Amino acid sequence: MSAQIISGKEVSAQVRECLKKDVEQMKLKDPNFSPGLVVLQVGDRDDSNLYISMKLKAAKEIGINATHMRLPKTATEDEVLHSIKEVNENSSVHGLIVQLPLDSVHKIDTEKVTNAVAPEKDVDGLTSINAGKLSRGDLGDCFIPCTPNGCMELIKQTGVSVAGKRAVVIGRSKIVGAPMHDLLLWSHATVTTCHSKTADLPGEVGKADVLVVGIGKAEMVKGEWIKKGAVVIDCGINHIPDASKPSGKRVVGDVHYASAKEQAGFITPVPGGVGPMTVAMLMANTVLSAKRFLESHQPGKWNISYSNLNLQRPVPSDIVISRSCVPKPIDHLAKEVGLLSDEVELFGTTKAKVRLNIVQRLQAQPDGKYVVVTGITPTPLGEGKSTTTIGLVQAMGAHMKLNVFACVRQPSQGPTFGIKGGAAGGGYSQVIPMEEFNLHLTGDIHAITAANNLVAAAIDARMFHESTQSDKALYNRLVPLSGGERKFSPIQINRLKKLGIEKTDPSSLTEEEVTRFSRLDIDPSSVTWQRVLDTNDRFLRKITIGQSPTEKGYTREAQFDITVASEIMAVLALTTSLQDMRQRLAKMVVATSRSGQPITTEDLGVSGALTVLMKDAIKPNLMQTLEGNPVFVHAGPFANIAHGNSSILADKIALKLVGPEGYVVTEAGFGADIGMEKFFNIKCRYSGLRPHVVVLVATVRALKMHGGGPTVTAGMPLPKEYIDENLELLEKGCSNMKKQIENAQHFGVPVVVAVNAFKTDTEAELDLVCSVAKAAGAFDAVRCTHWAEGGAGAVALGQAVQRASEAPSSFKFLYDLELPIADKIRTIARKIYGADDIELLPEAQLKVELYTKQGFGNLPVCMAKTHLSLSHEADKKGVPTGFVLPIRDIRASAGAGFLFPLVGTMPTIPGLPTRPCFYDIDLDPETEQTWYPGPSPEPNPS
């Protein structure tokens, strides 16, 4: 009786149909996801091309995104290895096949190339790591080579159990024979491997219940060798002469099929047996790899380790604490929180940038809970808002075992070298390494400085050239001859369209159109764009530019701002994509023409160059807390001129990474009347994000000041009122906290008050603050000791935040954008500051009319006022009443997307104190460590 034929075509069709359903299920979970396969070929062999076309066709049928990567015959080993590395690091590729043989004119080590494939993408199962795992029996943690895998699938189709049977494998190649032996062995067969040197091969074959042949010799195994009823799997593909065939040859296996089928119980044909199964198993391995990828990268599935703090008393300086903890390698942290290798750009071992391709990968994933940390009206010493942000994150992560991300601003070097000393948090709740955090970081602020000053240079250069040239000369230089013809650049085409000129041929413009195109006609007195630097240099607050004789008498008064006050910084913080940033940079208004038209950076032709300068700055920076929590440090706009919040992009990415049960804690600058109000009315408008909880940081010290306590000065000893218990003074000052709670409640979000405890605070004082806060409508109020204890000192706060995030909320904005500019300002003044009304001074009134006419009337407003009082007068503490808020001027940040009214006078570049912090900053030339003590432990909380 003839053997039953095992059809590889039928089995492989069944396998492919199952794989197709698997891929469809993946897409149901994530519509943006597809299994990815790359076939890397060197040269152009016809047989390789045939095999590759079969693989690509099968992949397309199943729904696998397959790519054929061709390298020329001239490719060197290094070039092949480089291509493999690129694919290894591409998170959209889950399988990589190196098509053998490598058809190159250069000598290439096949073993080296094969082992360069990442084991988790080695769907051929040929790397030493996968082979080693297979030989050890780790079948669930490796990829099985496709031909042996297909053979096992064909054996299963017979219904014959391999366990306990005698199996013989002829051939010992790494691709078929050796892995086939291992598979049969771990399926509990008794396995004999035979080869060309085996004595009495027919005798060995005759013992086999299961025979797998992959020796590469045409029809070598005869039918009479085979045990009656055996399962015969023929892996051979050989060509023998056959005059009856058009090609003069036909394909046969390693087994003499005609005689063998009379002995065997089951047999595979050649062709149509093992061949189709090899391709099917390749597809199966690719789908398996994609499944493993999805399983290991589920949203919010973190496998994070935390660092233990070695708490010391008294609490050492910040830099000593920072150095006492060894940070995790930043690439390790990135992997722990679900970032892929191709989404991370390392800057040394402790910081990295995160590429924006992650936004698309995670866009279908649900967001976590969103928490904003703000504060009461602060003292000049600061009340520990950044420290509380980090302490809360450490508590919720390291101690409550929740996925949690901190998102904070990058500090300016002005305060770092000046009076403040840094913004990395403090004590045992800080971002590390603190010197990296507080100094250059990854150069984002430097990029903003360069971009800002390029605009400034472009403005003055354009005014100079327009004042010294005729229309024709100006046009000929703006659109110069190149190769005998003139061409508009793309950015010039944009200007033509803005002017309503639908022409692309420079020679076709009329004289009137040439004039309109060439002349921006900037009114020098209307220039609002200033130069910047990231240093507190008070003597640049007012300067005269153009003093050189080469400027031909073109001088004007100007000024410098600190870099973080640049509109480009605000753009960075509010942008949502590279394309959005390009558009925002293009819309920045730098001046007004003499005819009253706004002049933008796009008109200047510089917006594309700005985008190039900012292309890396847009990527959030990844760092960590002392306890090993992830932190995004990104953007740092001035809080009393711009909106004072870290970037939308950092928050959005973090919200995806933490998963639906996780938390993102972001910080708004200064008091709730400044940073929080702008967070809601500006940042949340542009991000579309809705916060779940407001954390309001308060201190006994600050509340006493609001109750009428004496003035405090940074670096000077505290008056006794702040050291001794004084419940009357404290209760009076709690009015400020109650007002800030009310301000948060205007937006419909639950408020948790964090009382940042100092060692001078008494139990009675702390209890009083908490009871007043709850009576004022706070969801909860808890004391915190995270400065001295790290995350353990903020666990109660973390638990309160967790409860509050589940409470009902009804988020709403404070005002509608359609309101007139003055009414929006009035709404903020009355509801947030407690003013009776506003007064628009003449310059402000003119700007209201101008910006309304220019189409900026529907932008949100970003109040520029002192952060030291709810009013416009810094010395008015508590909750001032009965005042009218004077608006002396209004300016437009059209690119960032807001108008900023100026309330009173404030410097846009701070000055250095008598004894700046740079006295305490130095470098050890032997260890190359920065000596940077940061703020003194006194009078920090304890």
Name the residues annotated as catalytic. 55
E strand residue ranges, 708-784: 751-756, 780-784
Residue type, 283: M
Alpha-carbon distance 888 to 848, whole Å?
11
Instruction: Determine contact, residues 841/847, Cβ cutoff 8 Å.
Output: no
Distances (CA, A) of 95 to 31, 35, 54, 60, 477: 20, 8, 16, 14, 54
Token output for 790: 């790290």
Distances (CA, A) of 74 to 38, 79, 433, 463: 20, 10, 47, 55
Instruction: Find how far residue 750's CA is from the centre of its chain.
Output: 28
Alpha-carbon distance 133 to 117, whole Å?
16
Residues facing 545 on adjacent strands? 556
Alpha-carbon distance 383 to 906, whole Å?
22
Instruction: Find how far residue 680's CA is from the centre of its chain.
Output: 22
Alpha-carbon distance 925 to 134, whole Å?
52
Q: Residue 589: in which H helix or E strand, if any?
A: strand 589-592
- The position carrying tokens 């149901």 is 28
Token output for 594: 């003499």
Angle between helices 274-296 and 46-62 (to 10 degrees): 50
Alpha-carbon distance 551 to 554, whole Å?
5
Tell me which residue of 649, 699, 644, 689 sits closest to 667, measured CA to CA.
644
Burial letters 752-777, b for 16+ CB under 10 A, else e? bbbbbbbebbeeebbebbbebbeebe
- The position carrying tokens 């404070």 is 814
Alpha-carbon distance 166 to 182, whole Å?
14
- Cβ-count burial of 313 within 10 angstroms (0-12 exposed, 13-18 middle, 19+ buried)? exposed
Residue type, 308: N
Count, residues in the chain: 942
Angle between helices 177-186 and 128-136 (to 10 degrees): 30
Residue 793 per-residue DSSP state: G
CA dihedral for 914, 917, 920, 922, sign (positive or negative): negative
Instruction: Determine contact, residues 405/633, Cβ cutoff 8 Å.
Output: no
Count CA atoms within 13 Å of residue 934 on its CB side. Answer: 28
Residue 750 per-residue DSSP state: -
Tell me which residue of 444, 441, 446 sits closest to 350, measured CA to CA.
441
